[in-house]
């Protein structure tokens, strides 16, 4: 994050350019087989685990997006969600993950949302 300091009236202003944040955006969904056709309770457990990771999350109808500054944070959150669904009683869990990671340009959940809405 570029930080520019301006001296004016003896005040240091730290300008953090919010558009220059090279975040990794990932999309996660979990599915559970063998627990009936309604799996909302498991999905909620997974989302809860993602939120506990401390990462920014955004849940849509089919998946949850998370945003992190490095791949380890993403994978740890995914692991936590996956395990949480087993701990909630599931016997077969299918976890889908899509990691969109760019180093050439800043991106956040917010900038990606704005780009298409």
Cβ contacts of 63 within 8 Å, gap of 6 or more: 27, 28, 29, 96
How many of the other CB atoms lie within 10 Å of CB of 36?
8
> Which CB sits closer to its own copies, 8 or 114?
114
Site string for its own copies, 8-47 (x = CB under 8 A): -----------------x-x---xxxx-xxxxx--xx--x
Residue 82-111 contact track with its own copies, rule CB under 8 A, x = bound: xx--x----xxxxxxxxxxxxxxx---x--
Strands (E), 2-85: 3-8, 11-16, 24-33, 56-59, 64-68
Candidates 2-10, 12-20, 73-81: pick the segment binding its own copies (CB under 8 A). 73-81
CB distance 66 to 56 below 8 Å: yes
Give contact residues for its own copies (rule: CB under 8 A). Answer: 25, 27, 31-34, 36-40, 43-44, 47, 58-65, 71-72, 75, 78-79, 82-83, 86, 91-105, 109, 112-113, 115-117
């Amino acid at each position: 994050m570029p930080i520019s300091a301006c001296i004016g009236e003896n005040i240091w202003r730290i300008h953090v350019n919010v558009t220059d944040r090279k975040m990794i955006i990932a999309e996660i969904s979990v599915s559970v087989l063998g627990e009936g056709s309604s799996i909302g309770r498991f999905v909620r457990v997974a989302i809860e685990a993602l939120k506990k990771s401390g990462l920014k999350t955004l849940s849509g109808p089919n998946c949850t997006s998370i945003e992190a500054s490095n791949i380890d944070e993403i994978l740890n959150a995914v692991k936590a969600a996956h395990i949480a669904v087993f701990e909630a009683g599931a016997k077969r869990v299918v976890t889908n993950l899509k990691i969109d990671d760019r180093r050439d340009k800043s991106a956040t959940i917010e900038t990606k949302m704005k780009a298409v809405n």
